[in-house]
Amino acid sequence: MNSKKIAQDTAKVLQDYLTYQAVKVIVAQLTETNPGEAIWLRQYSSDGKLQDGERYIEGLMSELEGKKLVMRILTVRDNLAEQVLEYLPEMVSSSIKQANLAHRRHLLERLTQSSTPADNAESGLDANEYSDENK
């Protein structure tokens, strides 16, 4: 397991995602202040270009309408990075631990159920399940 390579790939995914979020923020702002530009930016950004954030920004520079938006995207992305990055390790780490607990419990339930089908057939759970019909 090459964790250095995985860290690099993950950082790239994170950077691309922050670029996508920066564009989303700016489209929302422009919708209020300059609807025409908002429509242009949304359309320009719609066909998967944002999957590679740096290529997207370079591409934007070739467009007359894009040039003036580039600086804004860079600034918003930088601000976003400052606001969210430091909290991510703790957020993701605790979310994974919580999810793992839930998955382990579900797995245990499934393994217990499938290994004792005969017991389940006569269990209180099944009796409750049909209680409405029996009333």
Query: Site residues (CB under 8 A) for a copy of itself?
Result: 1, 3, 6-11, 13-15, 17-18, 21, 25, 54, 57-58, 61, 67, 70-71, 74, 76-78, 80-89, 91-93, 95-97, 99-100, 103-104, 106-107, 110-111
CB atoms inside a 10 Å sphere around CB 73? 20
At closest approach, how far in Å is the CB of 104 from a copy of itself? Answer: 7
Question: What distance lies between CA 123 and its chain's CA centroid?
Answer: 41
Going by C-alpha positions, the residue among 54, 55, 22 that lies closest to residue 41 is 22
Closest distance of CB 131 from a copy of itself, Å? 26
Is the torsion defined by CA of 106, 107, 109, 114 positive or negative? positive
Cα–Cα distance between 84 and 55 in angstroms, integer? 23
In the complex, the smallest distance separating the C-beta of residue 10 from a copy of itself, rounded to whole angstroms, is 6
Spatial distance between the Cα atoms of 84 and 81, rounded to a whole number of angstroms:
6
H/E run at residue 60:
helix 53-61
Closest contact distance (angstroms) between CB of 81 and a copy of itself is 5
106 or 120, CB closer to a copy of itself?
106
Would you say 6 or 127 has its CB closer to a copy of itself?
6
Q: Measured from the CB atom, is 94 or 123 closer to a copy of itself?
A: 94
Nearer to a copy of itself, 15 or 31 (CB): 15
